[in-house]
Amino acid sequence: MVDLDALNAIIAPEAEAMGLALVRVAFFGGESDPTLQVMAERPDTRQLTIDDCADLSRRISDRLDALEEAGKDPIDQAYRLEVSSPGIDRPLTRRADFADWAGHEAKISLKEKRDGRQRFNGELVGIDGDVVTISDKEGVEHKLPFDAIDTAKLVLTDKLIAATIPLSFDGADELEEEGQD
């Protein structure tokens, strides 16, 4: 079993040293395709460039390799390292995410059922202290304890696309021209 808290403690300083905010560290894939997934972003743009991904990947690899050489490897099996931006339909993992993305559509799954439900879809109202509020399609507000949330993510909508400004449009015209042939 991989200790995600220990991995967070190792990876977060590497991201912060580059001026990045760590969004999520996850380990999945079982024995067939074990993957250490790291999502990070620049706090000012909420995005990550390919160069940022490559640089952070090298930093994490170097740090984990050094721990392995010292006999303190936090992952006792072979795995694949995946470093990426959280993307437009990003996971919501930090309290600030629920405030920052209020007004957008989200899906939230709880660790255990609450009031007979485990999944909630609707407009994210925000967070107050440790309580996340989501309003379903009928306009009913559901107040969910932050610590009860298993997973949460934004839903890709036109509103979300309009609210997300790419870092660069460089090369966009070239891709469009290629598709017109």
What are the structural domains of the chain? 4-84 (3.30.300.70), 95-163 (2.30.30.100)
Phi, psi of 129 (to 5 degrees): 65, -115
Q: How confident is the model at residue 164 (pLDDT cuts 50, 70, 90)?
A: confident
pLDDT greater than 80 at residue 4: yes
What is the separation of C-alpha 117 from the centre of its chain, rounded to a whole number of angstroms?
Answer: 24
pLDDT greater than 80 at residue 171: no
Measured CA to CA in angstroms, residue 145 lies from 46, 71, 95, 142, 151 at distances of: 25, 39, 11, 10, 12
* Pairing state between β 80-84 and 141-145: unpaired
Please tell me the predicted confidence (pLDDT) of residue 168: 57
Please tell me the predicted confidence (pLDDT) of residue 47: 87
Query: What average pLDDT does the structure give for the chain?
Result: 91
pLDDT tens-digit readout, 7-62:
999 999 999 999 999 999 999 988 889 999 999 999 988 889 999 999 999 999 99
Give the pTM: 0.82
Q: With helix as H, strand as E and coil as C, how does 114-179 read? A: ECCEEEEEEEEEEEECCEEEEECCCCCEEEEEHHHEEEEEECCCHHHHHHCCCCCCCCHHHHHHHH
pLDDT greater than 80 at residue 181: no
Return the exposure string of 114-126: e unless at least 16 CB atoms fall within 10 Å of the residue's CB, then b.
Answer: eeeeeebebbbbe
pLDDT greater than 60 at residue 175: no
pLDDT tens-digit readout, 65-81:
999 999 999 998 999 99
Residue type, 163: A
pLDDT greater than 90 at residue 130: yes
